[in-house]
Structure 1
Amino acid sequence: MDIAAMVEKACPGSEIVEIVPRSGGQLSTVFEVRRYAAAPVIVKIYEPEWAWKQAKEVHVYGLLANQLGDAVPQVIHAEHGEPAYTVLTKLDGVPLSEAEPPDWRAVYVQLGQLLARVHRITQPAYGYLTDQLLEPLPTNHAYMCRQFAKKLQEFSELGGDHQLGEDIARYVDAHADLFKHNTAAALCHNDFHEGNVPVDPGTWRVRGFVDVENAIAADPLMDFAKTEAYSIRGDTDKLAGLIDG
């Protein structure tokens, strides 16, 4: 892979100082490219079978651009051939998951403010996002009932406890009317945890967020639920800050 050639196509005249492998895995290989007298950029290279993830990322970052500005990576260039790759701006900071702020509540207020801005981006229906809505549904009730049925089926097929599955299904059936309280679909990050949020460890300013590959159109409470499950885990200061924000 000629990373330098990819950057040259996206940012002509770049003088590359260093190419540093970052995270990577099944979906994409990621590099940070440091340049002389210019901001570093991120290059994501997609395996052929995951090229649709590239289209999703470009689409979702486009949706976020007007509302979030430089709080999200900006797409500089997207190449759809083989290999498919995207060049993005890089957010400064370190992942919040690797930091220890003196005031978690104040940091989580900023996270709540970011999510509020994301959730102002309305969507025409409920469903999974690629560069379009897949199998859209008109109501949150219909979408959430479908999702619970799908996930409980997967739980069973993967050998999950039968009694637990039945108990969850009964609980969902008994409380499903609560899903009707949400009447307008919003853009949801759907993976909003501390590993995806870079912060400045000097000022504890939240720089923004990354990784929109799980984005959906749904009830904003989906983001609150996932953030609580992934990162808050009952921490009252974090939860209060998120709600305040």
Structure 2
Amino acid sequence: MPQPDQLPPGTAWTEPLLREVFPDAEVIEVLPRTGGQLSTVYELRCADPAHSAILKVYAPEWAWKQVKEVRVYRILAGLDSLPVPRVLHHMPDGAPDGRAVTVLSLLEGRPLSEASKDLDASQIPSFYREMGAALATIHQVGQEAYGYMTDHLLDPRPDNGTYMRHQFAKKLAEFKTLGGDDRLHDTVARRIERDGALFDNCRAAVLCHNDLHEGNVLVGPGDVAHVTGIIDVENAIAADPLIDLAKTDYYSLGRGEPERHTLFEGYGPLPADAAERLDLYRLYHALELWDWFRSIGTVVPLGSIADDIARLAGQRSDTPS
């Protein structure tokens, strides 16, 4: 079966999809946009710019994520201050090869991961302040339990301690199966045994984006550039809000203290044990990332991630770092 990026590049199959929303839409160009491992994204450029939209095509094994994205985007659309795309149309078999497709409203801007190449380094912290504020807004949406989200919570856990111990056990098992270092595995396990009680300090689950890095933040042009979009909610979970904040920090592409400071500043007040919990969640994200890269055969970053795991597994902190 052809991959999404091998779908017909013309407008014949995309125009009928868009006309479900805009009956007079005329698609004049289909442009590939930045996608990911699980889906391919196109911009449908129309004769009338008001009809232009984003088309997301899901790989067959990940088609179930469409229901999740539609649900989460619609929840987030209810948060008026959060710039997220609107779901315009979706079909489980709308592509020529029967793949699931979702049509989303087109937001201004391009990913910060791309735009940052043209920006002065002094401009980047302001975006992290907005990212922190965006996370705080998303975390206003409470959840009844902890777990992975689809159109419902999969294997929901009643409390954060149970959820995070289960998640670490799962990721450590994957690490061992994928050939991870036994001593590093045991070091992580000892850290969780030693400090895992910190997970119990989170008393309520919230909706977490769980992938708010520079590739999923759109920024607009102008004299005062700002965040114009929060996208890609495929990884959303119900969890401790600090796990979300820690992922944005850990995935900050080598940014430094100015970005970390403004991320936390934009987010707002943190609980008294935030430093210690953030460290544990950074460890979790490093372990998860190592597992993911190893599972897809991406080996170059594994050494540096393993170094992160080793550092975080033996670390104690008294301040957010």
Which interval holds the TM-score relative to the shorter structure?
over 0.9
Amino acid at match of 2:231: V
Moved more, 34-43 or 112-121: 34-43
Query: Match for residue 90 of structure 1?
Result: 106
Is contact 1:10-1:87 (8 Å) kept?
no
What CA distance in whole angstroms lies between the structure 1 residues aligned with 2:238 and 2:143? 6
Query: Match for residue 106 of structure 1?
Result: 126
Larger relative contact order, structure 1 or 2 (CA cutoff 8 Å, min sep 6): 1
Query: Match for residue 165 of structure 1?
Result: 185
Out of 6, 17, 35, the position equivalent to 1:6 is 17
What CA distance in whole angstroms lies between the structure 2 residues aligned with 1:174 and 1:20? 51
Unaligned runs of 5+ in 2: 1-7, 267-321
Is contact 1:114-1:208 (8 Å) kept?
no
Is contact 1:68-1:117 (8 Å) kept?
no
Instruction: Return the offset for 1:14.
Output: 0.5
Query: Match for residue 50 of structure 1?
Result: 62
Out of 233, 244, 248, the position equivalent to 1:212 is 233
The RMSD of aligned alpha carbons is 1.7
Amino acid at match of 1:243: F
Query: Match for residue 36 of structure 1?
Result: 47
Instruction: Return the offset for 1:227.
Output: 1.1
Query: Match for residue 139 of structure 2?
Result: 119
Moved more, 233-242 or 107-116: 233-242
Structure 1 residues 10, 84: closer, same or farther in 2, change over 3 A? farther
Secondary structure of 1:244's aligned partner: helix
Instruction: Return the offset for 1:68.
Output: 4.5
Q: Which has the higher strand share?
A: 1
Instruction: Return the offset for 1:185.
Output: 0.3
- Residue by residue over 1:159-183, the C-alpha shift from the partner in whole angstroms, topping out at 9 and shown as x without a partner, is 1010111011001111011101111
- Residue by residue over 1:78-113, the C-alpha shift from the partner in whole angstroms, topping out at 9 and shown as x without a partner, is 112333211100221121112135333222111111
Query: Match for residue 166 of structure 2?
Result: 146
Instruction: Return the offset for 1:8.
Output: 1.7
Instruction: Return the offset for 1:223.
Output: 1.2
Amino acid at match of 1:213: E
What CA distance in whole angstroms lies between the structure 1 residues aligned with 2:237 and 2:36? 22
Query: Match for residue 276 of structure 2?
Result: none
Secondary structure of 2:75's aligned partner: helix
Amino acid at match of 2:46: R
- Residue by residue over 1:98-131, the C-alpha shift from the partner in whole angstroms, topping out at 9 and shown as x without a partner, is 2135333222111111110000011110000011
Unaligned runs of 5+ in 1: none
Query: Match for residue 21 of structure 1?
Result: 32
Moved over 4 A (4+): none
Query: Match for residue 227 of structure 1?
Result: 248
Structure 1 residues 168, 134: closer, same or farther in 2, change over 3 A? same
Moved more, 43-52 or 194-203: 43-52
Instruction: Return the offset for 1:17.
Output: 2.4
Share of identical aligned residues, percent?
A: 48
Is contact 1:140-1:219 (8 Å) kept?
yes
Out of 183, 193, 199, the position equivalent to 2:203 is 183
Q: Size of the alignment, in residue pairs?
A: 245
Is contact 1:65-1:72 (8 Å) kept?
yes
1:59 aligns with 2:66: no
Instruction: Return the offset for 1:156.
Output: 0.5
